[in-house]
């Protein structure tokens, strides 16, 4: 069975003093940004795409290797049909417009989530974009679309069960390669804009030991400075992974050390 390249962060400790390798963001607050300006909610989504562009550039400049953006949750289908359809159109339009630039900038593009509810034309556009950029290495950009953390865990369990001989085969290590972010280290830093302090069914498994950062800034207002403030906050955290501060003092930089 294929094994994941990265050990779970709950088992391995990343190098101290490094910036985050993987930043995962819930881009929230587009609707409120628009409402504050007496604009329709969807105007906020349009502005939000500009922030996506800014944060991709910042991530490259700050040497983040994985950027994962929550664009549409499995619960977002509950929104008014016109908003859902606008978001789908915006996703398609943005992908069509930006994919060449993404490729030229050596960015690897992926989408995670249950694509079975999407139009075939959108799915084929996504798959083409993934193929086009599959050898790029500067930044791994992942868009979570129709994604839900519970869906992710369940689909991984289903795949594992289908290949397992007995219950003893069902282990964390065996499950991880089936999760939709198996290609990436677990997020080091989670950012949620827009003021809410919840995970909203984003990467439930993968966020087990992620540093959480919440800001009231609305996604369309989030920019270079706000991103740097989040990185600075991360830089001040002590990632103990169950250990004590004293233990960490004595073992700076023991990357990948397995916990007993």
Binding residues: 28-33, 41, 45, 73-75, 77, 79, 192, 198-200, 211
Q: In a 3-state reduction of DSSP, which class is residue 213?
A: strand
Q: Rule CB under 5 A: is residue 34 a binding residue for Mg ion?
A: no
Q: Which of 188, 196, 230, 166 is nearest to 6 (CA)?
A: 188
- Give, as ranges, the residues between 10 and 29 that touch ligand IPE (CB under 6 A): 26-29
Kindly tell me which residue out of 28, 98, 152, 211 binds Mg ion, with binding defined by CB under 5 A. Answer: 28
What is the closest distance, in whole angstroms, from the C-beta atom of residue 119 to Mg ion in the complex?
Answer: 24
Q: Rule CB under 6 A: is residue 112 a binding residue for ligand IPE?
A: no
Supply 132's token pair: 């086009």
Q: Rule CB under 6 A: is residue 72 a binding residue for ligand IPE?
A: yes
- In a 10 Å sphere around its CB, with 0-12 CB exposed, 13-18 middle and 19+ buried, how is residue 244 labelled? exposed
- Indicate if 158 belongs to the active site: no
Residue 170, CA distances (Å) to 9, 51, 184 in order: 19, 41, 21
Residue 195, CA distances (Å) to 35, 131, 135, 217, 225 in order: 15, 36, 37, 7, 17
Count residues near Mg ion (CB under 5 A): 1
State the residue number with the nearest CB to ligand IPE. 31
- Give, as ranges, the residues between 176 and 215 that touch ligand IPE (CB under 6 A): 194, 196, 198, 200
> Residue numbers of the site for ligand IPE (CB under 6 A)?
26-32, 70-73, 75-76, 87, 194, 196, 198, 200
- Active-site residues, by number, are 28, 76
């Amino acid at each position: 069975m294929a094994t994941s390249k990265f050990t779970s962060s709950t088992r391995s400790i990343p190098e101290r003093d490094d910036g985050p390798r993987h930043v995962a963001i819930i881009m929230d607050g587009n609707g409120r940004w628009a409402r504050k300006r007496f604009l329709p909610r969807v105007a906020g989504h349009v502005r939000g795409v500009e922030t996506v562009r800014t944060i991709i550039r910042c991530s490259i400049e700050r040497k983040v290797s994985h950027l994962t953006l929550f664009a549409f949750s499995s619960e977002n289908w509950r929104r008014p049909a016109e908003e859902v359809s606008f978001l789908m159109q915006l996703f398609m339009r943005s992908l069509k417009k930006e994919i060449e630039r993404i490729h030229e900038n050596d960015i690897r593009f992926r989408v995670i989530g249950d694509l079975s509810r999407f139009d075939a034309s959108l799915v084929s556009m996504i798959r083409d974009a993934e193929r086009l950029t599959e050898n790029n290495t500067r930044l791994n950009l992942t868009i979570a679309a129709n994604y839900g953390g519970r869906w992710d865990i369940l689909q991984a369990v289903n795949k594992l069960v289908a290949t397992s001989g007995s219950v003893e085969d069902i282990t964390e290590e065996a499950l991880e390669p089936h999760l939709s972010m198996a290609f990436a280290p677990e997020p080091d830093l989670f950012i949620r804009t827009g003021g809410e302090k919840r995970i909203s069914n984003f990467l439930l498994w993968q966020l087990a030991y992620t540093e959480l950062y919440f800001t009231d800034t609305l996604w369309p207002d989030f920019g270079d400075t706000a991103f740097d403030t989040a990185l600075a906050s991360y830089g001040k955290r002590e990632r103990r992974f169950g250990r004590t501060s004293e233990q960490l003092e004595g073992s700076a930089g023991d990357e990948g050390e397995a916990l007993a």
